């Protein structure tokens, strides 16, 4: 691929719809990705009524997503994969919701990509075991100035960011020098943010370890005194 063609592919604007399946609240988020740049367009949730039958709730989710797709006209959709829950009934229901969530964009002619939760976390926060608070903090940093009604929309945007990252990896991520100094600055900002989150996580882990060690020492001391009596 010649440099001009590569540059055109890298700088192509792609509108991504991220979807976080849930029976009560399915989160959605729309952003545009152009090279290493992200632009937030919208986010929210599609809720279903708890009192309604499962079939009716699935229909509510499908209609809500169809309306969102018609309004925002994304180019591609990204959905988080289902993890196995301890409750088999909940797992089954989530699987049914996820089927509806994948069907809606597929019926609209969109490619639907699936990402494991650990991949989403690693793409956004740099760690496959990052906590939800870290994910939200990183989404805020990458898409500044937006407020979330809850974690569902933030998770959906994280899934969209994950797809943007992986899509750009297929065309040489981070961008080559031909993409300009702005891309380099953006890449450095993302790397710095991930380093800060990693440092915060390490500090929290160290603090928890100290607390556990102190608690263990106190327990040992009490046990010694009881024997002495």
Write the pLDDT tens digit of every residue in 53-109.
999 999 999 999 999 999 999 999 999 987 766 788 888 899 999 999 999 999 999
Both tokens assigned to 211: 């607390």
Mean of all residue pLDDT scores within the chain: 81
* Domains of the chain, each with CATH number or no CATH: 3-216 (3.30.420.10)
- Indicate which residues carry an active-site annotation: 20, 80, 152
Band (pLDDT 50/70/90 cuts) for residue 220 is: low
Higher pLDDT, 17 or 184: 17
Q: What percent of the chain has pLDDT over 90?
A: 52
For residue range 122-163, what is the model confidence (pLDDT) as tens digits? 999 988 888 888 998 999 899 998 887 678 999 999 999 999
Higher pLDDT, 191 or 87: 87
């Amino acid at each position: 691929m010649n440099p001009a063609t590569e540059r055109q592919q890298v700088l192509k604007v792609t509108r991504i719809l991220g979807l976080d399946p849930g029976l009560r609240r399915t989160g959605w988020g729309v952003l545009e990705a152009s090279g290493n740049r992200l632009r937030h367009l919208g986010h929210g949730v599609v809720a279903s009524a708890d009192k309604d039958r499962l079939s009716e709730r699935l229909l509510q989710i499908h209609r809500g997503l169809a309306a969102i797709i018609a309004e925002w006209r994304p180019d591609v959709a990204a959905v988080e994969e289902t993890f196995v829950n301890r409750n088999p009934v909940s797992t089954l229901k989530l699987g049914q919701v996820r089927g509806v969530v994948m069907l809606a964009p597929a019926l609209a002619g969109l490619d639907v990509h699936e990402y494991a939760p650990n991949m989403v976390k690693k793409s956004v926060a740099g760690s496959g075991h990052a906590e939800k608070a870290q994910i939200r903090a990183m989404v805020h940093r990458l898409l500044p100035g937006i407020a979330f009604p809850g974690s569902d929309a933030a998770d959906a945007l994280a899934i969209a960011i994950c797809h943007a990252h992986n899509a750009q990896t297929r065309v040489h991520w981070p961008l080559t020098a031909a993409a300009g100094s702005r891309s380099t600055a953006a890449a450095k900002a993302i790397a710095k943010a991930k380093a800060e989150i990693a440092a915060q996580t390490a500090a929290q882990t160290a603090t928890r370890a100290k607390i556990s060690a102190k608690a263990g020492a106190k327990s040992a001391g009490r046990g010694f005194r009881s024997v002495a009596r």
